[in-house]
Amino acid sequence: PQKRELLYEGKAKKVYATDDPELLIVSYKDDATAFNGLKKGTIVGKGVINNRMSDLLMARLEREGIPTHLVRELNDRDTLVKRVAIVPLEVIVRNIAAGSFSKRYGVAEGAVFYRPTLEFSYKNDELGDPLLNDDHVLALGLASPEEVAVIRRYALEVNRLLREIWKQCGVTLVDFKLEFGRLPDGTIILADEISPDTCRLWDSQTGDKLDKDRFRRDLGGVEAAYRQVMGRLNQQL
């Protein structure tokens, strides 16, 4: 498959059409942004790592019964995926308090939840991705009740599977963001990416942050952290 016209350029990825109307090529960049685009930078080698990691994890999830957009990896930075209409929700699963949860509710980072916490936000940069409850999702017509139920079930199952994979790597999966899409027949599948850009990953022994928070919070060692988690996953999968 060949890249045709550039359909969309996001913060971390470009999306190209192909000759097949049902398939797209996603191309991962080294660009990094945080705080809704306010902070910008480059994480050298990130695109290669995120492409690889996302494909490895999606292939594993697919084998475990979660439908995903993955078709196949084309090269270091490019992956062939099924074309979907993205459901404009950021689906966030949290196992441990951190980030916006800690800030919003005044809870110390690191507090372990009794059970996973699922939240939706409206994928809308102008509005700053506001938090939504299930009724808001329906009121705004972002997804049907049946779709919300399927998304919720997949997201919690993905959490169960990813937690186990990362545990074997000596990494604690703190939280992560998923996006889902609709195939032309309406089927809901997992889309977007799963990477240190979209997950909080803490070293299980030391608690060291091995994800994009190193960039967001100017902790240094960003590239090394991405290489560290990628290396551990390669050993494990």
Nearer to ligand C5P, 78 or 90 (CB): 90
Least distance (Å) between residue 54 CB and ligand C5P = 12
Q: How large is the greatest C-alpha to C-alpha distance in the chain, in angstroms?
A: 50
Q: Give residues in contact with ligand C5P (CB under 6 A).
A: 90, 92, 98-101, 129, 175-177, 198-200, 212
Q: Which is nearer to ligand C5P, 55 or 90 (CB)?
A: 90
Q: Which is nearer to ligand C5P, 98 or 233 (CB)?
A: 98
Kindly report each contact of residues 126-130 with a partner whose C-beta sits within 8 Å and lies 24 or more positions away, as own/partner.
Answer: 128/36, 129/36, 129/90
Task: Provide the residue count of the chain.
Answer: 237
Least Å from the CB of residue 152 to ligand C5P:
16
* Residue facing ligand C5P at closest CB distance: 99
- State in angstroms the smallest separation of the CB of 113 from ligand C5P: 13
How many helices and strands (H and E) does the chain possess?
6, 14
If the CB atoms of residues 3 and 152 are measured against ligand C5P, the closer one turns out to be: 152
Number of neighbours of residue 224 by Cβ within 10 angstroms: 10
Q: How far apart are CA 78 and CA 3, in angstroms?
A: 10
Q: How far is the CB of 99 from ligand C5P (least distance, A)?
A: 2
Angle between helices 46-63 and 222-236 (to 10 degrees): 30
